[in-house]
């Protein structure tokens, strides 16, 4: 059974692997690598990464990516040798992975370049729909498409993004209307100002006075102040519609592949300045969303609005991984409340006091000046959210009586068997059964307290306790497994119905081409009837199932986000 990560999440590499000195092709690895700390990826995570890479980039990229995730940092030729892939294909795969920020490279001694996979970044691919949808809610369709293009392409120059998005938006507009580049640029600038997109590290411009041979790989740099600096571009133009003759459904397939033709001859004004989506900023937004909705559920709309205001004010002043926000005075909060929120100062103060007194401790009072200084306890909030997730899982899996016991142990921290039965008011036999069930699934753990130095079992206290961090890790691991199962099941369903799906696609293609060449209604009807009624039924069922599986993936990912945020926040404080 896979072991979840150890307490610290870091393990020293102790077992031999392909990269250790003295083993196989990697003899040239320096001794220091043997002692390097690697973060272990569990089997579940690796499996999930494999499925994601395969769905998005194909099998070759998947093979290279998974190999790197498993073995850590490796040079080019070792990868090719160990995976049995041709050098050219490995290079292409690495280019794709580097482009999408999934792999980074580092130059080691003697000019050897090593490539390392960013495992957790691969898992972020699950969250792309959420990022894009968030951009839509904040910056409407233009923002949505900008973020989508950046995620689909890994990194792009601003001019390329603006052009592509303008073209796409123009496609959706009515005939005769086009989207102006300036409007798209404005949205891009707003995204950069609010840090949702950021500049990629770039190749520093060096004077060519260096007489030696160029380095095997460029060193990319970026500093804080440049990260959100938008280059001064004057992008003038409008989006272009794709003409119908370009579409492949009609006419002969092209003899030549479509290339970037005439446009490439123009010099790119911001050449070399690439942008990427800033996932951390999105995560900060999700975290804020989670806290606000938790407050809304626990208290009321007005309280949640106050908390939202406080979080908004802290966006720029507080780094995203701080345990609590900078203190805000009640006066400041009052001034920053959204327009149209007509609560008086006294009412605001009452709400703030209520929030600060709440046992969940989302809001804390840190002083009395300025009408009262208040902070949001980000770490505590994340902890509460993670705990609530655990409680909810226990309730849904084991029933509400089990959940009662779980909450009890959480609250009292350590309880003996007898005490659990008494406090929970549940008969002994059932209580034992439930406790053991939760124990076997690692929601609850046992703490031994020996009375005598010889640790004799008959003279030892056994206390039940909930270790939130390890329970969260366990649940996270299960989430990864769940999503892997969901993806596999979806692929299985699709494969089972492959013949039918292909038939339906062919029929659609034929109908489309017939429509383009102007066929009659009766003919189209005939073609449509090629798919029989039971087959249509089967297709409907398939679609329903696939939708359900997809939706489940998205919602499990929300739990993953919560748990990961909590674990990360806790690790930072240790």
- Binding test (CB under 8 A) with another protein, winner from 28, 451, 548, 572: 548
Among 56, 241, 298, 481, binds another protein (CB under 8 A): 56
Does position 207 bind another protein by CB under 8 A? no
Check binding of 259 to another protein (CB under 8 A). yes
Which residue in this structure is represented by tokens 């930072």? Answer: 572
Near another protein by CB under 8 A: residue from 44, 46, 48, 61: 61
- Does 248 participate in binding another protein (rule CB under 8 A)? yes
- Provide the minimum distance between the beta carbon of 347 and another protein in the complex, in angstroms, as a whole number: 31
Q: Which of 121, 130, 238, 380 binds another protein (CB under 8 A)?
A: 130
Q: How far is CA 178 from CA 143, 174, 370, in A?
A: 17, 8, 51
Q: Does 523 bind another protein (CB under 8 A)?
A: no
Write the DSSP string, 519-567: --HHHHHHHHTTS-HHHHHHHHHHHHHHHHHHHHHHHHHHHHHHHHHHH
**260 and 85 Cβ atoms separated by less than 8 Å:** no
Which window, 7-15, 364-372, 525-533, 548-556, contacts another protein (CB under 8 A)? 548-556
Rounded Cα distance between 200 and 195, Å, is 13
Question: Residue 394 Cβ, how far from another protein at the closest point, in Å?
Answer: 11
* Cβ 289 to another protein shortest distance, Å: 11
Q: At closest approach, how far in Å is the CB of 1 from another protein? A: 10
- By CB under 8 A, how many residues form the interface with another protein? 81
Q: Is 132 in the site for another protein (CB under 8 A)?
A: yes
113 DSSP β-pair partners: 107
- Residue 217 or 425 having the CB closest to another protein: 217
**Whether the Cβ atoms of residue 79 and residue 90 lie closer than 8 Å to each other:** yes
| Diameter over CA atoms, the chain | 92
Which positions from 287 through 306 interact with another protein, judged by CB under 8 A? none
The Cα 399–Cα 434 span in angstroms is 10
What binding mask, one character per residue, do residues 453-492 give for another protein by CB under 8 A, x or -? ---xxx---x------------------------------
Q: Residue 464's closest CA among 426, 410, 404? A: 410
Q: Report the site for another protein in 503-522 (rule: CB under 8 A).
A: 505-506, 509-510, 512-513
Closest contact distance (angstroms) between CB of 237 and another protein is 19
CA atoms within 13 A on the CB side of 211: 0
| Min separation Cβ 60 and another protein, Å | 5
Given candidates 180, 361, 441, 553, which one binds another protein under the rule CB under 8 A? 553
Per-residue binding string, another protein, 399-418, x by CB under 8 A, is: x-----------------x-
Minimal distance, residue 228 CB to another protein, in Å: 20
- What's the CA dihedral at 396, 400, 403, 407 to 10 degrees? 130
Residues 6 or more apart whose Cβ sits within 8 Å of residue 266? none
Q: Which is nearer to another protein, 285 or 379 (CB)?
A: 285
Is 449 exposed, middle or buried (CB count within 10 Å of its CB: 0-12, 13-18, 19+)?
exposed
- Taking the complex as a whole, the smallest distance from the CB of residue 29 to another protein amounts, in Å, to 18
Measured CA to CA, the distance from residue 169 to residue 148 in angstroms comes to 13
- 87-95, 312-320, 334-342, 560-568 -> range binding another protein (CB under 8 A): 87-95
β partners of residue 116:
104
What are φ and ψ of residue 319, in 5° steps?
-65, 150
User: Hey, which residues between 417 and 446 contact another protein (CB under 8 A)?
Assistant: 417, 428-429, 432
Please tell me whether residue 272 binds another protein under the rule CB under 8 A. yes
Q: Does 398 bind another protein (CB under 8 A)?
A: yes
CB of 19 to another protein, least distance (A): 19
Query: Cβ-count burial of 184 within 10 angstroms (0-12 exposed, 13-18 middle, 19+ buried)?
Result: buried
What is the nearest approach in angstroms of another protein to the Cβ of residue 24? 21
Interface region with another protein, contact rule CB under 8 A, candidates 4-12, 89-97, 234-242, 308-316: 89-97
Of the residues 243, 265, 499, 573, which one makes contact with another protein according to CB under 8 A: 265
- Token pair listed for 353: 């006091």
Question: Which residue in 11, 42, 43, 89 binds another protein (CB under 8 A)?
Answer: 89
Tokens of 121: 């970044």
| Only segment of 100-108, 292-300, 345-353, 473-481 that touches another protein (CB under 8 A) | 100-108
Q: Which is nearer to another protein, 509 or 571 (CB)?
A: 509
Pick one of 113, 227, 233, 500: the residue that binds another protein (CB under 8 A). 113
Query: Would you state the structure tokens that stand for residue 174, as one six-digit string?
Result: 């009515």
User: Which residue in 81, 108, 118, 128 binds another protein (CB under 8 A)?
Assistant: 128
In the range 18-47, which residues lie near another protein by CB under 8 A? none
User: For residues 469 and 465, what is the distance between their CA atoms, to the nearest angstrom?
Assistant: 12
Among 423, 552, 568, 570, binds another protein (CB under 8 A): 552
CA quadruple 540, 547, 139, 243: dihedral sign: negative
Calculate Rg over the CA atoms of the chain: 29
Q: Which CB sits closer to another protein, 336 or 392?
A: 392
Structure tokens at 408: 């009890």
Task: Specify the residue for token string 């795969």.
Answer: 93
What are the backbone dihedrals phi and psi of residue 58, each rounded to the nearest 5 degrees, phi first?
Answer: 95, 170
| Inter-CA distances, 568 with 244, 383, 427, Å | 50, 11, 39
Minimal distance in Å, beta carbon 350 to another protein? 32
C-alpha distances in angstroms, 25 versus 12, 34, 91, 149, 239? Answer: 22, 15, 19, 40, 53
76 scored as a contact of another protein (CB under 8 A): yes
Q: Which helix (H) or strand (E) holds 37?
A: strand 37-38
């Amino acid at each position: 059974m896979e072991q979840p990560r150890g307490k610290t999440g870091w393990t020293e590499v102790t077992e031999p692997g392909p990269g250790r000195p003295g083993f196989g092709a990697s003899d040239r690895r320096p001794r220091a690598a043997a002692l390097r700390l690697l973060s272990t990826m569990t089997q579940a995570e690796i499996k999930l990464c494999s499925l994601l890479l395969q769905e998005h980039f194909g099998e070759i990229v998947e093979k290279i990516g998974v190999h790197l995730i498993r073995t850590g940092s490796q040079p080019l030729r070792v990868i090719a040798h160990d995976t049995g892939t041709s050098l050219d294909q490995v290079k292409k795969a690495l280019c794709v992975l580097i482009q999408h920020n999934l792999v980074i490279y580092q130059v080691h001694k003697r000019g050897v370049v090593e490539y390392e996979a960013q495992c957790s970044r691969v898992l972020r691919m699950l969250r792309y729909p959420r990022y894009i949808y968030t951009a839509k809610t904040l910056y409407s369709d233009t923002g949505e498409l900008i973020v989508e293009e950046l995620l689909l392409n890994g990194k792009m120059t601003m001019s390329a993004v603006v052009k592509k998005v303008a073209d796409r938006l123009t496609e959706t507009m009515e005939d005769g209307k086009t989207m102006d580049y300036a409007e798209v640029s404005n949205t891009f600038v707003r995204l950069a100002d609010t840090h949702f997109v950021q500049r990629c590290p770039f190749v520093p411009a060096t004077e060519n006075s260096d007489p030696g041979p160029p380095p095997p790989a460029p060193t990319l740099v970026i500093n804080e102040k440049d990260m959100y600096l938008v280059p001064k571009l004057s992008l003038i133009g409008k989006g272009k519609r794709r003409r119908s003759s370009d579409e492949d459904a009609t006419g002969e397939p092209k003899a030549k592949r479509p290339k970037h033709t005439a446009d490439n001859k123009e010099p790119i004004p911001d050449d070399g300045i690439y942008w990427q989506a800033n996932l951390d900023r999105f995560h900060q937004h999700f975290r804020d969303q989670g806290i606000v909705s938790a407050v809304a559920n626990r208290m009321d709309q007005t309280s949640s609005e106050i908390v939202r205001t406080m979080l908004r004010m802290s966006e720029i002043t507080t780094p995203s991984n701080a345990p609590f926000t900078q203190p805000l005075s009640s006066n400041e909060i009052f001034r920053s409340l959204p327009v149209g929120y007509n609560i008086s100062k006294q009412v605001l103060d009452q709400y703030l006091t209520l929030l600060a007194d709440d046992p969940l401790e989302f809001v804390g009072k840190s002083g009395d000046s300025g009408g009262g200084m208040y902070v949001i306890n980000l770490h505590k909030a994340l902890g509460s959210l993670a705990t609530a997730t655990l409680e909810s899982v226990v309730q849904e899996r084991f029933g509400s009586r089990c959940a009662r016991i779980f909450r009890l142990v959480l609250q009292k921290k350590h309880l003996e068997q007898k005490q659990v039965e008494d406090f929970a008011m549940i008969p002994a036999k059932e209580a034992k059964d439930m406790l053991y069930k939760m124990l076997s699934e690692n929601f609850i753990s046992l703490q031994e307290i020996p009375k005598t130095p010889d640790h004799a079992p008959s003279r030892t206290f056994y206390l039940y306790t909930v270790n939130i961090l390890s329970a969260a890790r366990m649940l996270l691991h299960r989430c990864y497994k769940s999503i892997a199962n969901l993806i596999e099941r979806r692929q299985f369903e699709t494969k089972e119905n492959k013949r039918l799906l292909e038939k339906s696609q062919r029929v659609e293609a034929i109908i489309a081409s017939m429509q383009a060449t102007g066929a009659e209604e009766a003919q189209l009807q005939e073609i449509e009837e090629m798919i029989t009624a039971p087959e249509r039924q089967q297709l409907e069922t398939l679609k329903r199932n696939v939708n359900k599986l997809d939706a489940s993936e998205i919602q499990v990912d929300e739990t993953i986000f919560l748990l990961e945020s909590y674990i990360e926040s806790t690790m930072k404080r240790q």
